[in-house]
Chains A and B, each alone.
Chain A
Amino acid sequence: MTASICNAISATKANRLYWLGRYAERVYLSLHLLRKFYDKMIDGSGDEYLDYYKRLDATTVYPDYTSFMLGYMYDTKNPGSLVSGLELANDNAIVLREEIMSETLSYIQLSLVKIKAAAAEGVTNITDLQNITDYLLAFWGSADERIYDDGVRDLLRVGKLVENMDMHVRFDYPFYRIAETYESLKKCADDFDGILDPVILEQLDRLLDEDCYQSEDTEYKFKLLKYVNHLVLL
């Protein structure tokens, strides 16, 4: 008897898809933002990395720029490092092979192989990690191209958009970028009944106001980040 096609996604898989989306986006944006700070430091005092790190609420203390770069990129004991982000993305991706397809998974694997090789060589120049950015872009392209199940694709994307909002808020991206991402997130989550917390959704709808966003009120930003990170019920 031919088996029926079952596109059901278990709660565990949904959670993994969400976090895969988040970690992949976190590493991608971290590299992007690091490159920006790298550029700033050419003309600055060299302490700009402190500001970068503060924005991520990071707790690990690095005494100087070089130890920051090495630590932030390659320290496996630092849960906020790039290598940890990729390990966590891979931990989720490896158990989702049949959902995202081997080709999509391969870009996470390639990123991990690349960062481990760079760590072994002690590479501190961020531009040498450009391949990882390319792989992560390819990862998203492959996800769009090869994942036929809309639910799987959308759950990945929900994770991506939440992380995108979080990082962009932390680094003071213009309001319109945050608002657009938020709308995309709501649209993306539309097909999943009850995936967004209705109370937080209501709060965020109210909170996302351009004037408030630009007010430099730290409490406001704290609240905004808290709601963004608690919006998805997975």
Chain B
Amino acid sequence: MDKLIESRDTVNRWLERFGVRFGIYKNGVFKEQLFPFDSIPRVIPADDWRMLEQGLVQRVDALNRFLYDVYHDKQIIKDGVVPAEFVYSSKGYTPECEGVTPPHNIYSHISGIDLVQAKDGKWYILEDNLRIPSGASYPMIARTITRKVSPQTFQENAVVDSRDYSQLLKEMMDFVNVNGGANVILTPGRYNSAFFEHSYLAEKTGALLAFPGDLMVENDQVVYTDMYNERHLVGCIYRRVSDEYLDPLVFEPSSLLGIPNLMQAYKKGNVAVVNALGNGVADDKGIYYFVPKMIQYYLHEEPILSNAPTYLPYFEEDYRYILEHLDKLVIKDVSEAGGYGVVFGRDLTPERLEELKQLIMADPRRWIAQEVIDFKDLEILEGDQRVERKADLRAFVVSGQTTKVWKSGLTRFSRNPDSFVVNSSQGGGFKDTWVLEQ
């Protein structure tokens, strides 16, 4: 593996060559940055992976059942397992999706589940991303490059080949495709932070990459318009545009990114939308608390993977605990994503702690609190030195005919020695994730 580790700069040059960047807005100005790759992989032994795989499939299956239930019978609410206000006050709850059934009842086709490993080796789920989880393309292309740059590393180590992600995506899109029309990836455009991913996945899955304006709805069918104004039927849209911008006639009327009348075509079952609309209700940080209960409720199984110990100020007992232990907890604003809205109590001055307390008291539903997990640090190269940094793992679970976990994932690490925040938008880097054959 030493050869590969020494090749970090070579791999990064290859990534630059292929335009592997992510976009970021700073002070209103769009900038594209390289996503720094660290060549020391995260290695997951086969036994650990088997457990993770089972736990992730179980979790995503339960979340899909929950989404169907929320927009149909609401049995989980009626049975008092999830309080109604958590569902209906969630920003992600979408009344327009009531009674709408996506093809094959699949809501979360691509789930990005964030995990961390504690120092004792135990894995914890940190977050479920069920709307538009991004990041798979980086380890995908990195593996292709590292195999080229250091073939002997892969001859000497029995690492599962992870270059099949695009195949998993394609199979899933084909499965949910409703009419044999084209598979399309809908991007908001070049200035989206994940544009590289949109274009790379289109290349690798053979899907059409559509920009705003390329798709329209005619007679309740979605069509792609070519240069001669001819229409081509679309059967599946892997959209990388948020729900609120997806159909200006139903959601945000000023949106230029969406497809007018898409909701009508979708409701009639004339197009599959990946991921389905309305998923935000299930990846709400408040709903996260209830996922283990969902697993018991829908699958009658014990959860294989644990949540990070979480408190909801909504519950009286938790509320008191949070206010008493605020300086030891990590507090998350349920409406934020991308590492924003995450505050470590220990980093706050007494004045700021008091301010936060007031905010929690004023709007308890807006917050969750978690115990700080002592992450297992991973080694990274800082210059030529090996140093340890916090890292998480985003596992990608693809739900089509069956639910499958991609045998790799995005390992993100913090470059700042004092930080637990690993998001690329906050300066983090990434590593390859090796799953060992045995």
Taking Cβ atoms with an 8 Å cutoff, the residues of A that contact B are 1-6, 8-14, 91, 94-95, 97-98, 101-102, 105-106, 109-110, 113, 192-194, 234
* Chain B, range 189-211, C-beta contacts under 8 Å to A: 189-190, 195, 199-200, 202-203, 206-211
For residue B19, CB closer than 8 A to chain A, the reply is yes
Bound Cα distance from A1 to B67, whole angstroms:
23
Q: 4 smallest A-B Cβ distances: which pairs?
A: A6-B182, A98-B202, A8-B226, A97-B199
B144's nearest neighbour on chain A, judged by CB, is: A102
Contacts of B233 in A (CB 8 A): 4
Cβ 8 A contact of B18, one of A9, A105, A194: A105
Bound Cα distance from A14 to B203, whole angstroms:
17
26 A–B contacts from the bound complex (CB under 8 Å): A1-B179, A1-B235, A3-B174, A3-B183, A3-B235, A4-B181, A6-B181, A6-B208, A8-B226, A9-B227, A10-B214, A10-B224, A10-B226, A11-B227, A12-B213, A12-B214, A13-B227, A94-B199, A95-B195, A97-B203, A98-B208, A102-B18, A102-B19, A106-B19, A109-B16, A113-B17
Instruction: Evaluate contact between B224 and A2: CB separation under 8 angstroms.
Output: no
User: Would A9 and B203 be within 8 Å (CB), given that A102-B18, A113-B16 are in contact?
Assistant: no
Most buried by B among A95, A101, A193: A95
Most buried by B among A1, A3, A192: A3
For residue B116, CB closer than 8 A to chain A, the reply is no
With A1-B174, A6-B208 given, name 17 new contacts (CB 8 A): A1-B178, A1-B180, A1-B235, A3-B173, A3-B183, A3-B207, A3-B236, A4-B180, A4-B233, A5-B206, A8-B224, A8-B230, A10-B226, A14-B227, A94-B19, A94-B195, A105-B18
Instruction: Evaluate contact between A3 and B17: CB separation under 8 angstroms.
Output: no
Cβ 8 A contact of B224, one of A5, A6, A101: A6
Contacts of B162 in A (CB 8 A): none
For residue B177, CB closer than 8 A to chain A, the reply is yes
Task: Give the A-B contact count at a CB cut-off of 8 A.
Answer: 99
For residue B320, CB closer than 8 A to chain A, the reply is no
A103's nearest neighbour on chain B, judged by CB, is: B18
Contacts of B386 in A (CB 8 A): none
Instruction: Evaluate contact between A102 and B182: CB separation under 8 angstroms.
Output: no
Bound Cα distance from A95 to B200, whole angstroms:
10
Bound Cα distance from A81 to B175, whole angstroms:
49
Cβ 8 A contact of B19, one of A12, A109, A192: A109
Instruction: Evaluate contact between A95 and B199: CB separation under 8 angstroms.
Output: yes
A13's nearest neighbour on chain B, judged by CB, is: B227
Contacts of B174 in A (CB 8 A): 1-3
User: Would A8 and B18 be within 8 Å (CB), given that A1-B174, A97-B199, A102-B203 are in contact?
Assistant: no
A11's nearest neighbour on chain B, judged by CB, is: B227
Instruction: Evaluate contact between A3 and B199: CB separation under 8 angstroms.
Output: no
Bound Cα distance from A111 to B173, whole angstroms:
36
Bound Cα distance from A1 to B182, whole angstroms:
11
A215 to chain B, nearest CB (A): 38
Contacts of B19 in A (CB 8 A): 94, 97, 102, 105-106, 109
Contacts of A113 in B (CB 8 A): 16-17
For residue B91, CB closer than 8 A to chain A, the reply is no
A61 to chain B, nearest CB (A): 30
Instruction: Evaluate contact between B16 and A98: CB separation under 8 angstroms.
Output: no
For residue B232, CB closer than 8 A to chain A, the reply is yes
Bound Cα distance from A228 to B183, whole angstroms:
38
Contacts of B179 in A (CB 8 A): 1
Bound Cα distance from A3 to B207, whole angstroms:
9
Instruction: Evaluate contact between A12 and B211: CB separation under 8 angstroms.
Output: yes
A192's nearest neighbour on chain B, judged by CB, is: B227
Contacts of A98 in B (CB 8 A): 199, 202-203, 207-209
A108's nearest neighbour on chain B, judged by CB, is: B19
Contacts of B195 in A (CB 8 A): 94-95
Instruction: Evaluate contact between B225 and A10: CB separation under 8 angstroms.
Output: yes
Cβ 8 A contact of A3, one of B16, B180, B210, B227: B180
